[in-house]
Amino acid sequence: MKTLFDKIWDAHVVSSVDDGPTQLYIDRMYCHEVTSPQAFDGLRKRGLKVFRPQQITCMPDHNIPTVNQEKPIEDPVSKNQVDTLDKNAKEFGVNYYPMGHEKNGVIHVVGPENGLSLPGMTMVCGDSHTSTHGAMGAVAFGIGTSEVEMVLATQCVFQSKPKTMRILVNGKLKEGVTPKDVALYIISKMTTGGATGYFVEYAGDVIKNMSMEGRLTVCNLSIEMGARGGMIAPDETTFEYVKGREFAPKGEEWEKALAYWKTLKTDEGAVFDKEISFDAADIEPMVTYGTNPGMGMGITESIPTLDQIDAAGRVSFEKSLDYMGFKPGEKLLGKSIDYVFLGSCTNGRIEDFRAFTNYVEGRKKADNVIAWLVPGSWAVEKQIKAEGLDKILHDAGFELRQPGCSACLAMNDDKVPAGKYAVSTSNRNFEGRQGPGARTILAGPLVAAAAAVTGRITDPRG
């Protein structure tokens, strides 16, 4: 009896050492401009080639601007990182989608939508949110730069095998509760370290009924509770999503792959190291109030009071609230905000734009709000326009920006100014994450939409 994780992991073991690491074969590696330069330099210094270039896919996303991508990047540091990736990708002959290419975008959005991320794969990238691809029924995790070099040179990586955890979410979600809210709820209960050392499989009614976009969002946030990665067993939803995509198997190869993918589920009676269950009825639209993703609550709830916080955590709790300008015990409903960001590898997919657009249709953007709506890829942007969502957004006072990581992190021009509040659909609310001194409130696309048209934290159900 094996778990889904064990099935995929065991099928990719090249060698293992007793009480030591496993040499794991990697089916696909993604590279972006931030964590790959030293890895390519390492190959160059050792006179090595990329071992299997067809299994490496590179694109810039963190540093690229989301306006005027047709012009050279102005920031010299960002330009150097993007130019270096361009040079390395061409020199080493790996698959490469440069800025402005039709397949460019946030790497964790582009992979699944092109059929590069498939069930049963092992996948890595020098980026913690590689866990996103686990939604395809894959073992996907982030690695460090030295490990990026190892995979480039050998198509293998050394890893200690993590423990397994299953998180079940059963029941029926209430109206207005999105997959992002499900993920933020789980993290708020697990805390940012509750899954450390584990690889998580998500299961239960709620997960089974989620779209692929929703599953990608949930797996994306696995890392925020300390997990090594997150995954969901592939099913008909997965197969329908993958079928016909450019790099997905075709014809006889499709039938062969499908037969294998249908075996990728946890066996009845398989034992996890830990199992946790949540009830869908307990979840409402979520917001964060602090400076880590675990500091979250239902939108109608109040920030915890000091006596509700463990004594060991009170200093950091108070420091976090001081940074955010909030007080213990207060509600966030009605709080004025300055920025709204829809996008990132967490919520930059077509389903997120549909939800946001559906809410703002017939309404107007609040005058006090600056809104950055950033598709996760050029394919998403194309679909937004094909469905006429851009016209509805324009009528409501919103404009689309060009694809990229944008305001998820302060590595490009989209920085939230110090002291300003941003309702953000991204994945991290650390101090300075969206700009020095910026104050981030993580939320789903519906809460973001409600904030964008009211200028304050608003319950989208209300």
Q: What is the CATH number of the domain that holds 157?
A: 3.30.499.10
Based on the fold, state whether residues 273 and 401 are members of the same structural domain.
no
Last residue of a domain, one of 284, 316, 342: 284
* Same structural domain, 293 and 186: no
- Residues whose CB is less than 8 angstroms from the CB of residue 151 and which lie 6 or more positions away in sequence, other chains included: 26, 29, 56, 124, 143, 157
Position 452 scores a pLDDT of 99
| Buried/exposed 74-99: b ≥16 CB within 10 Å, e otherwise | eeeebeebbebbbebbeebebbbbbb
Q: What are the respective helix, strand and coil percentages of the chain, to the nearest 5?
A: 40, 20, 45
Same-domain status, 203 and 63: yes
The three-point CA angle 222-324-353 to 5° equals: 50
Element (H, E) at 357: helix 350-360
Q: What's the CA dihedral at 203, 208, 212, 217 to 10 degrees?
A: -40
Instruction: Provide the whole-model pTM.
Output: 0.98
Give phi and psi for 14, each to the nearest 5: -90, -45
In the three-class reduction of DSSP (H, G, I as helix; E, B as strand; rest coil), residue 70 is classed as coil
Q: How many domains does the chain have?
A: 2
306 and 239 fall within a common domain:
no
d(CA 280, CA 450): 22
pLDDT in the model for residue 17: 86
Do 213 and 328 share a domain, yes or no? no
User: In the numeric block, which tokens belong to residue 205?
Assistant: 């009614």
Q: Tell me, yes or no, whether 174 lies in a domain.
A: yes
What pLDDT, on a 0 to 100 scale, did the predictor assign at position 165? 98
For the record, the structure tokens of 250 come out as: 């075709």
Is position 1 within any domain?
A: yes
Identify the pLDDT of residue 381.
98
> For residue 174, which phi and psi values (nearest 5 degrees)?
-75, 160
Q: Which CA distances in Å does 365 have to 205, 334, 375, 398? A: 36, 16, 18, 7
Which pLDDT value is given to residue 263?
A: 98
Rg (the chain; Cα; Å):
21
* Domain end point (choices 284, 313, 333): 284
Three-state secondary structure call for residue 271:
coil
Q: Give the separation between CA 32 and CA 109, rounded to whole angstroms.
A: 13
Q: H or E element: which one contains 319? A: helix 314-324
Which pair of structure tokens corresponds to residue 408? 């998820």
Give the E-state strand segments of 119-261 in sequence order.
122-125, 139-142, 156-159, 163-170, 198-203, 229-231
Rounded distance, CA 187 to CA 182, Å?
9
Do 42 and 81 contact (CB within 8 A), yes or no? no
Distance of alpha carbon 199 from alpha carbon 6, whole angstroms: 10
Report the alpha-carbon angle 389-393-394, nearest 5.
115
Q: Give pairs for 144-150: CB < 8 Å, separation 24+.
A: 144/35, 145/35, 145/36, 145/38, 145/39, 146/39, 146/42, 148/29, 148/31, 148/35, 148/36, 148/39, 148/124, 149/38, 149/39, 149/40, 149/42, 149/43
Query: Could you tell me the residue range of the domain that residue 437 belongs to?
Result: 286-454
Report the alpha-carbon distance of residue 420 to residue 339 in Å, rounded: 7
Residues 221, 345: one domain?
Answer: no
Tens-binned pLDDT, residue by residue, of the chain (462 aa): 999 999 999 999 999 988 889 999 999 999 999 999 999 999 999 999 999 999 999 999 999 999 999 999 999 999 999 999 999 999 999 999 999 999 999 999 999 999 999 999 999 999 999 999 999 999 999 999 999 999 999 999 999 999 999 999 999 999 999 999 999 999 999 999 999 999 999 999 999 999 999 999 999 999 999 999 999 999 999 999 999 999 999 999 999 999 999 999 999 999 999 999 999 999 999 999 999 999 999 999 999 999 999 999 999 999 999 999 999 999 999 999 999 999 999 999 999 999 999 999 999 999 999 999 999 999 999 999 999 999 999 999 999 999 999 999 999 999 999 999 999 999 999 999 999 999 999 999 999 999 999 999 999 998
DSSP state of 262: T
3-state SS of 72-117? CCCCHHHHHHHHHHHHHHHHHCCEECCCCCCCCECHHHHHHHCCCC
Which among 284, 300, 330 is the end of a domain? Answer: 284
Distance CA 83, CA 194 (A): 39
**Residue 79 forms part of a structural domain:** yes
For residue 439, tell me if it sits in a domain. yes
